[in-house]
Amino acid sequence: MNMTEGNFVDYVKMHVTSGNGGKGSSHLHREKYIAKGGPDGGDGGRGGHVILRGNSNLWTLIHLKFKRHFRAGHGAHGSSGRSTGADGEDVYVEVPLGTVVRDSETDEILFEITEDGEERIVVEGGMGGRGNWHFKSSVNQTPRYAQPGIPLEEKDITLELKVLADVGLVGFPNAGKSTLLSVLTSAKPKIADYEFTTLKPNLGIVEYRDFKSFVMADIPGIIEGAAEGKGLGYYFLRHIERNSILLFLIPADAKDIVEQYEILEDELRRYNPEMLDKERLVVISKSDMLDDELKSEISTILDKDLKAEYMFISSLAHQGLTELKDKLWKLLND
């Protein structure tokens, strides 16, 4: 899924169908020695609902991209002995918090799911029909009719999630932000070997184990053009409600890693001091070009002077990426 070029809405269209109500039974009681047992037809069961449920462990709609139809079970028919048919099975669809549900045809907002465990019925199952024993009266002792069940409901709905970046990439042009984004996510940023490639923010969804996922954004313009007011960067992470992380990306061949970190930090402070309240992690990119000796030399300097946690990765050589995802997931969910 490509979410580049400023498309900030993760959305999925789906077709939902509830269950039919079961029909009531028009059975007449017949038993040896009981001449006219009278009506004893039971009611039909209720059809199943399709229910959306909020789940705070989900961050995106990626788990629904490939399942577009949800269909609840039908209610069973009533039967003799006044026995009611079983209700149809309800179907639960788990969605992240902040999911807005619209009717696809009218574009009307039906509801928004905001709390963990919140359940909303999106199509109701049909009521079961009443069996003939309900219709017995002094005038009509043996009614031979029962109600049919109420039919199912169908609807096309659109789920929208306003995607907020959970992880923002901060770095000088050409630090390898776009490359990291393209390796970790399915975003297809424009990548070139010159500065200022990223003009619009690129967003990508990082898939983590067991269908979990989080959103990473390459924030352009924090450095380039910031002084002239062209910088877009802070504008994205400004809306963050969840814990978000700033990932400082500094290439291994930078002249002075600590100095680069401090310049970036200072830019953020001048732009919007609140950004510095966020968790941060320094990632030394392009570190496939370092041998062990160089790595340990750099580590010695960083341990002494860098006021932040750091790790080495290489997007091209796929080194350290799993550890990076694990670390980010842990920071986001602590």
Residue 84 marked in a binding site? no
Residue 177 marked in a binding site? yes
pLDDT at 241 over 60: no
pLDDT at residue 205, rounded to an integer: 74
pTM, 2 dp? 0.59
pLDDT at residue 15, rounded to an integer: 97
Residue 255 marked in a binding site? no
pLDDT at 8 over 80: no
pLDDT at residue 106, rounded to an integer: 94
pLDDT at residue 195, rounded to an integer: 42
Strands laid side by side in the 213-218 sheet: 202-207, 213-218, 167-170, 245-251, 279-285, 310-312
Residue 198 marked in a binding site? yes
Residue 225 marked in a binding site? no
Residue 200 marked in a binding site? yes
Q: How large is the greatest C-alpha to C-alpha distance in the chain, in angstroms?
A: 103
- From residue 287, alpha-carbon distances to 257, 263, 292, 312, 317 in Å are 12, 21, 10, 6, 9
Residue 315 marked in a binding site? yes
pLDDT digits (tens, 9 = 90+) for 279-320: 889 999 888 888 888 888 888 888 888 888 889 988 888 888
pLDDT digits (tens, 9 = 90+) for 129-157: 999 999 998 888 889 899 999 999 999 99
Evaluate whether 286 touches 174 at the Cβ level (below 8 Å): no
Sequence-distant (6+) residues with CB within 8 A of 315 are 176, 179, 180, 182, 183, 184, 285, 286, 321
Residue 23 marked in a binding site? no
Residue 83 marked in a binding site? no
pLDDT at residue 101, rounded to an integer: 94
pLDDT at residue 51, rounded to an integer: 98
Query: Does residue 7 or residue 173 have the better pLDDT?
Result: 173
Residue 220 marked in a binding site? yes
- From residue 70, alpha-carbon distances to 21, 64, 84, 99 in Å are 17, 11, 26, 17
Residue 43 marked in a binding site? no
Q: What is the mean pLDDT of residues 156-172?
A: 80
Residue 55 marked in a binding site? no
Residue 10 marked in a binding site? no
Residue 316 marked in a binding site? yes
How many Å apart are CA 49 and CA 245, to the nearest integer?
A: 39
pLDDT at residue 226, rounded to an integer: 47
Residue 175 marked in a binding site? yes
Residue 189 marked in a binding site? no
pLDDT at residue 229, rounded to an integer: 47
pLDDT at residue 164, rounded to an integer: 60
Highest mean pLDDT among 145-149, 250-254, 273-277: 145-149
pLDDT at 38 over 80: yes
Residue 201 marked in a binding site? no
Residue 292 marked in a binding site? no
Residue 80 marked in a binding site? no
pLDDT at residue 115, rounded to an integer: 87
pLDDT at residue 230, rounded to an integer: 45
Residue 219 marked in a binding site? yes
Residue 174 marked in a binding site? yes
The values of phi and psi at residue 70, to 5°, are -125, 130
Residue 92 structure tokens: 């639960």
pLDDT digits (tens, 9 = 90+) for 181-199: 878 876 555 544 444 434 4
Residue 334 marked in a binding site? no
What does pLDDT average to over the chain? 81
